[in-house]
Structure 1
């Protein structure tokens, strides 16, 4: 009886291990593949050497001057999650959406003088990492003259596609990736599987052909006045290319390269280069995003692969052991005959 009880206990424990293994691999871990609300992404810095760029400066008399400069550029992006705004979301966005405040600063490497400042508010899906429709989306390029800044006005932009994250279990396909110059998401296609910075990655490529860039007419007029004073009208042409390396399990972008070229095209005279630069992550950023991707990847592998495999092996062993123990007979019963043999009668000799 005791052996049957022990066997049943081992069998039940093994069955439980198999159930937990299956739940981890196919239910629990897949359900947890979403960006946590408390994720604080590291600051991202991209740098470009020998860049050409138009820079606005304030002269001693208070006047603003725009001139084309050359030198190194450093762009820093900082992200601050807005937990309260995410918690206040209702409807289809509730429980599924991140709200991020994004701050960007572009400075000259040589002297640290500011070239551009911008701020945004964006809603991102916690699983796909893509932007989702939200009335609070906004973007503001801060002006040189602070009194002209109106802040980030909700609803003045419609972010779509991937921006800072790719989906968990990124696929080898074409995604829509946000282009800030055109204010639209454009196709970014899978190019190859590559090892980057020690991790297996998917490399994606986006090429934006030369086209007219949508810009405020007053801003174009101002640029013409500084850089093409003989022109009466004009436009800005834009082209870009981006290469990114994505760790596919987590969707983390661990490598980034971008080339941008913008020209002021006046109705008379030759075009003026407003911006020409090739950016890539600096070494500190590469190390930070690599560490974050490795941590996420190791956690997913441990909980979604190694632990379930271990539990499954243990469960099978316990199930088999339980069956064996339950069916095995006690040692005494194994050697005892079914019935005792009757002694043969012995003849008694007659005297």
Structure 2
């Protein structure tokens, strides 16, 4: 009976070790993907003071374009397109992204944009898709008018200390986002990354550029847009969630006659509600990954080793010890001689 119990415990110990290894190397890695049904929280970045161009209509109906100074709040909302994603390979998300910027003091709309983007569930990178689009005007988003690349809203599960490509919507391309340091941020261990966009010329719709020149540089016949930006991201590495964000952006209208005119200057950061929402989502995801990828496998490994040792001891204890005494041979008595 001791041998049977020992063999059973030994087998259970081996199974525990195998399951622990499967969790670490097979099961958990296969689940390091954004759920298809994930609905991200709205993200708000804001600043108490910014310079920006605002188009207005005067009471008499005359249009006016002026540079204003006030607080700004930009909201990005994401609605997953489950139907579009279902038609792909099962490894891709399709998100409809809505963006709007308003004055904090009057709630007047300054600008808005709409995008459709396909993202890899594991790496978080944009993937080629014929339906992707981007528009900054109140017109339908035309599929195929943009080619998103790099990272936009997600980073890989197990984000590394390396350089990633991060999308710049002003330039319409992905640029390097460099790792800087480990840092505790938003009550989480994070990696801090930064993207520095050096001053350069940015494209603007000719009609919009013409309107800016007419109102802000009436003596000019042509001009360009000068643009620079610095973005700092704090990423929780286990989940790849962006738990902190800061964007410092500066744009100027540079006419061919007269001085440059600042048309946008702002230092935008997550508001407290966004910090709380993205922090909780990342903390929950991190806890699940640590539980299934670290703590449960360690517990199973320890339990497995204990069961193996106990099983071996029981199996050995159930057998006869070597060198023990053997029972004395039983001999038959000699026959008594007949006289």
Match of 1:212 in 2: 201
**Using the alignment, how far apart are the partners of 2:247 and 2:166 within structure 1?**
13
Of 93, 99, 109 in structure 2, the residue corresponding to residue 98 of structure 1 is 93
Question: How far apart, in 1, do the equivalents of 2:145 and 2:115 lie?
Answer: 10
Q: Which position in structure 2 is the counterpart of 1:324?
A: 313
User: 1:50-69 alignment to 2 at 5 Å?
Assistant: 50-69=49-68
Superimposed CA distance per residue, residues 53-87 of structure 1 (whole angstroms, 9 cap, x where no aligned partner):
00112334444321110000000111011111000
- 1:244-299, CA deviations, whole angstroms, 9 ceiling, x for partnerless residues? 11111111111111001011111101111100000001111111111111111110
Q: 1:338 aligns with which of 307, 320, 326?
A: 326
For 1:241, the equivalent position in structure 2 comes to 230
Written as runs of structure 1 = structure 2, the 5 A alignment for 1:265-304 is 265-304=254-293
Tell me the alpha carbon deviations over residues 97-142 of structure 1, each in whole angstroms, 9 at most, x when there is no partner.
1000000110000011110111100000111101111111101112
Q: Quick one: which of 158, 161, 165 aligns to 1:172?
A: 161
Pairwise CA distance, 1:150? 2.6
Rounded Cα–Cα distance in structure 1 between residues aligned with 2:328 and 2:108:
106
Q: Pairwise CA RMSD of aligned residues?
A: 1.8
2:127 maps to what in 1? 132
Q: TM-score, normalised by structure 2?
A: 0.94
SS at match of 1:103: strand
The alpha-carbon deviation at position 197 of structure 1 amounts to 2.0
Q: Number of matched residues?
A: 331
Deviations 1:198-221 (CA, angstroms, capped at 9, x unpaired): 211111011111111011112111
| Contact map agreement 2:52 2:69 (CA 8 A) in 1 | yes
Q: Please say if residues 202 and 226 of structure 2, whose CA atoms lie closer than 8 Å, have aligned partners that are also in contact.
A: yes
Q: Which residue of 2 aligns with 1:32?
A: 31
CA distance in 1, matches of 2:170, 2:62: 27
The reply on whether 1:161 has 2:150 as its aligned counterpart is: yes
Task: Determine helix, strand or coil for the equivalent of 1:308.
Answer: helix
Matched, 1:117 2:112: yes
Matched residue, 2:336: none
Q: Does 2:309 align with 1:309?
A: no
CA contact (8 A) 1:49 1:277 kept: no
Counterpart Cα distance in 2 of 1:8 and 1:37: 44
Secondary structure of 1:46 counterpart? strand
Return the alpha-carbon distance in structure 1 between the equivalents of residues 93 and 104 of structure 2.
33
Correspondence for 2:221 among 232, 243, 266: 232
Separation (CA, whole Å) in 2 of partners of 1:150 and 1:290: 34
Write the deviation string for residues 300-345 of structure 1: whole angstroms up to 9, x where unpaired: 00000000000010011111111111111379x99x95214879x9
For the residues of structure 1 that align with 2:233 and 2:318, how far apart are their CA atoms? Answer: 65
Structure 2 counterpart of 1:86: 85
Match of 2:21 in 1: 22
What runs of 5+ residues in structure 2 fail to find an aligned partner?
A: 334-339
Unaligned runs of 5+ in 1: 143-148, 346-351
